[in-house]
Structure 1
Amino acid sequence: MKSNLSLEDAYEKCCKKILDNNDDINKILRIIKSVNKNLALSAGTIRNTIWQVLEGQKQVIMSDIDIVYYDNKSSKEEENKIEKELYKINSNYKWQVKNEYYMNQYNFINEPKFPSLYDAISHFVETPTCIGAYVR
């Protein structure tokens, strides 16, 4: 039977299913939402989880937890404040928080600021990490 889903939609559906079925990912998503509904889980945390499932490996959070948000009105210090709040809730994870509003200063110095979180994530240097998730 032929699917009406585009390849992109099929990938998105597969990724959502993998993330929805991972207790650690769901716990992390609930934690970040409790701190700020505009925070998103991104990059290596998601890539590694999906890779582990597709390769039949044990699912383990292996690295830092990449949390991103986009706020053109907050200072850089807000990242540290959010990180500290996340550590208070759960110190078992290695939280790393970044306001993507400022990230063009690191890898894209000659580029204008990113207009949105979606745009910033799409510019992550490693293509498989160009993904974000959050709980609505």
Structure 2
Amino acid sequence: MKNPHEYYQSILFEMITQSPALSAILQTLSHLHPQTYLSAGVLRNTVWAHLHGQSFDLKYSDVDVIYYDATEMDQHSQKQLQQHLEQLFPQQQWDVVNQALVHTWYRKDNGEQIQPLLSIEQALSLWPDTATALAIRLNGLGELELIAPFGLQDLFELKLCWNPALVSYATFKKRIASKQWLQQWPLLQAVDPEIENIGR
């Protein structure tokens, strides 16, 4: 029997391969910039919609693309890639970010600058919630490749879990409210970290 991560990964990969839109995006990314990953909301929402028996239309969706290139000194290349994707897929809202440059503009809740990130995996490990922290690309062999530092259980078990690495719990709760996740996907459960700690 597969372990939970392998089991959920196989389901996720099947969802992606059965989605013409996601497959087309991943194919395009692998040709334009082989080190780019599809990440965050578009993957998370695909899973949540599936688990709620809903269809998920990529039209007009936000699509996050990330990569890591420490040789880039400014955002020129990532903006060029974003513009190219906007031309190829005009119905999506694109956000392309070189994670090696995040420290130049991102600030913590207290206004402090973060240290330069060292990899895609480290970047994902700092994201506000565990279910969103995943990225997928099509590698040189044409195989799907996943990075998910927190695994996939929270995502597939519909748990909204705060990651305290970078943002406060208050910011995490505001994020949930502003995104209206609980209204759109009522089976989601926001996990209270204090209750979780008591139960351990």
**Pairwise same-fold verdict (TM > 0.5):** yes
Match of 1:29?
Answer: 26
Task: From 13, 20, 26, give the equivalent of 2:10.
Answer: 13
Alignment match, 1:43: 40
Q: Matches of 2:89 and 2:61 in 1, distance apart?
A: 15
> What's the offset of the Cα at 1:110?
5.0
Counterpart in the other structure of 1:106:
106
User: Which of the two has higher C-alpha Rg?
Assistant: 2
What is the rounded CA distance, in whole Å, between the counterparts of 1:103 and 1:72 in structure 2? 11
SS of match in other structure, 2:38: strand
Change (3 A) 1:107 1:57: farther
Sequence identity percentage = 23
Determine whether 1:67 maps to 2:70. Answer: no
CA distance in 1, matches of 2:12, 2:101: 28
The residue that corresponds to 2:77 in the other structure is 78
Matched positions, count: 133
Q: Which of 104-113 and 34-43 deviates more?
A: 104-113
Q: Gaps (5+ residues) in structure 1?
A: none
**Using the alignment, how far apart are the partners of 1:59 and 1:78 within structure 2?**
30
TM-fit CA distance, 1:95: 1.2
* Cα RMSD, aligned residues only: 1.7
Structure 1 residue 36, shift from structure 2 partner: 0.6
What residue is the counterpart of 2:195 in the other structure? none
SS of residue in 2 equivalent to 1:134: strand
Q: Please, what TM-score do these two structures have when normalized by structure 1?
A: 0.87
Greater RCO structure (CA 8 Å; 6+ sep): 1
Matched, 1:125 2:128: yes
Distance 1:45 1:116, change over 3 A: same
Give structure 2 stretches of 5+ with no counterpart: 140-200
Q: Is residue 122–residue 131 contact of structure 1 (8 Å, CA) maintained in 2?
A: no
Displaced runs of 4 or more, over 3 A: 107-111
Report the more deviating stretch, 72-81 or 102-111.
102-111
Pick which of 41-50 and 60-69 moved more. 60-69
CA distance, structure 1, for counterparts of residue 37 and residue 137 of structure 2 = 5
Question: What is the CA distance between 1:49 and its match in structure 2?
Answer: 0.7
Q: Tell me the distance in 1 between the aligned counterparts of 2:82 and 2:120.
A: 18
1:55 offset after TM fit, Å? Answer: 1.2
